Structure 1
């Protein structure tokens, strides 16, 4: 039987002039080609070529996506790509969008996409910020503007009032746009009010960490109950911070972090004290917690019980913040400019302005090398036991 060979060579050039190619070889009988198989192959190759060249997808992703969609004509996809690019979307943004929602290429750019883009621009999003926001949850562009997006954001504005606060909340957690107000947000807010959390703190929760408010009401109720049982004051900001930390950490990770602290000598009471002073400490990775605790206890010879009183330190960078400060203090101690019995934990815990005033600008004339130490250009040799 007569065989027909259909070959398509796709060639793309990267910025460094490296040429990559993919060769498709299909063997088809003349009978099969007349029955439409050839047309199907041509459509597949057009789809792959378009996804690579116009949308920025790599070959593997493009071939995989070609199993889900077929581009017969590029008129609609071209309009979609043009609209996105005009509004600040790069090929990387577009590729990320299509990876989850390939059928976005066939959305109506005038009726479906443009109104949503203009709506979010009216709130203050623009350029790369708009693209980053819409790519963070690809479902936003496919949800109804009138039935989902606008009603949800109007509800949020009853708590956070201004467009500026609204955009802050959306940048924190874009998926809140797609949340069900009646089934999720309203019940969770009712739970907070039931514990006595003031509306002002609920408003802050939307701008600081809105994600927990989108949990199922059952999960949210469980976490809120645990936070309340730990003794957090519902009137304080720490209540909602603790709720956010506990909801973001599953039971297994929570226990591993708690055991990591206890392995350095913390009691259960000291662990609870640290969490109540700074609830965000449990958002820090277990690896970082161990690394910092090891430095405090084994390199600085600090008491684990004393460290428990300064849990803010676990939110800081060891390399960029703590070690440079130790280097500054080491220089000043070696020159006798500050006492060796200085409250080291308090100094490390100082905010930037306070630390610089106490130890950098005050002594840079007498010890100019502390500038290099503060900028991380000097090694830390330790304070001794």
Structure 2
């Protein structure tokens, strides 16, 4: 109650209990419902707004399970002003996002992060030379990129562009790289690529695919298959990763 004292002004019979019961359709268990309310009690204070936003999602084809996931993991997004929320859903559908797919949830959370937060990242991308079309394309490919902090975006961009000399537009085509840890993934993998290139085992250390594949795939393709030519690669890779711990 101390986190959201306005709950005390809500009627138990006419507000809280009916809303609690309505959540059962999406959250199923009492524990999921109480956990959601505990994590973001504000959702109960704006019952009508939340209920309206839930209905918008249902009207646009979002399954109950996906609505439940949104309520459970990102309840803050559900308490946005109804008009803005409806516009966000319409905007995402125009971009081709399907409300029945999980990626729609990520895109919606990103778009609901607030006008200021959203615009700051748009402005940041434009400073890098990204066009409106490139920004929209990056968002379509990997909406998580709009949930990454501005600081993380800058750190990753500076490494690839300033240190490695990449064209910033490459990052627009592969925005997934912004989700990777610089210390645990990007630097260790590039260290391996540099050794391979220096020995003529690969032609270009500025490849994108080594950064976007899974851990097992990377080790198999760029470490294990070069054991004879460069036996120190695994030790180098592990050593670079251990520096981040």
Smaller-chain TM-score bracket: 0.7 to 0.9
- Cα displacement (A) at 1:378: 9.3
Aligned ranges 1:51-200 → 2 under 5 Å: 101=2, 137=3, 152-162=19-29, 166=32, 170=36, 174-176=39-41, 179-180=44-45, 182-200=47-65
> 1:176: Cα distance to partner?
4.7
**For the residues of structure 1 that align with 2:98 and 2:63, how far apart are their CA atoms?**
11
Greater strand share, structure number: 1
- Counterpart in the other structure of 2:204: 341
Gaps of at least 5 residues in structure 2 are: none
Q: Deviations over 1:293-314 (max 9, x none)?
A: 2222222222333221211111
Aligned residue in 2 for 1:237: 102
Q: Say whether residues 1:266 and 2:134 are aligned partners.
A: no
| Contact 1:169–1:206 (CA under 8 A) maintained in structure 2 | no
* TM-score (norm. length: structure 1): 0.53
> Which residue of structure 2 aligns with residue 352 of structure 1?
215
Look up the match of 2:83: 218
CA spacing shift, 1:160–1:340, aligned 2, 3 Å: farther
- Out of 278, 284, 304, the position equivalent to 2:148 is 284
Larger Rg: 1
- Separation in 2 of the partners of 1:198 and 1:266? 35
SS at match of 1:293: helix
Greater percentage in helix: 2
2: CA distance between counterparts of 1:167 and 1:367? 54
8 Å CA contact 1:278–1:312 kept in 2: the answer is: yes
Deviation at 1:169, TM superposition (A): 6.3
Q: CA deviation at 1:181?
A: 7.3
Contact 2:16–2:44 (Cα < 8 Å) also in 1: no
Aligned twin of 1:81:
none
How many Å apart are 1:168 and its aligned residue?
10
TM-score by length of 2: 0.79
User: For the residues of structure 2 that align with 1:375 and 1:156, how far apart are their CA atoms?
Assistant: 49
The residue number in structure 1 matching 2:119 is 255
Instruction: Tell which has more relative contact order, 1 or 2 (C-alpha 8 A, sep 6+).
Output: 2
| Structure 1 unaligned residues grouped into runs of 5+ | 1-99, 102-136, 380-385
Partner of 1:89: none
Contact 2:27–2:68 under 8 Å retained in 1: yes
Mark the CA change 1:264 to 1:216 in structure 2 (over 3 Å): closer, same or farther.
Answer: closer
Cα displacement string for residues 66-103 of structure 1 (whole angstroms, at most 9, x for unaligned residues): xxxxxxxxxxxxxxxxxxxxxxxxxxxxxxxxxx94xx
Q: Judging changes above 3 Å, is the alpha-carbon distance between structure 1 residues 163 and 309 closer, same or farther for their aligned structure 2 residues?
A: farther
Q: Structure 1 pair 182/207, CA: closer, same or farther in 2 (3 Å)?
A: closer
Where 1:339 maps in the other structure, the secondary structure is coil
Q: Give distance in 1, aligned partners of 2:117 and 2:46.
A: 30
Structure-2 separation of matches of 1:339 and 1:168: 54
Distance 1:342 1:199, change over 3 A: farther
Q: Distance in 1 between matches of 2:235 and 2:30?
A: 42
Contact 2:177–2:212 (CA under 8 A) maintained in structure 1: yes
Describe the shift of the 1:265–1:141 C-alpha distance in structure 2 as closer, same or farther (beyond 3 A).
closer
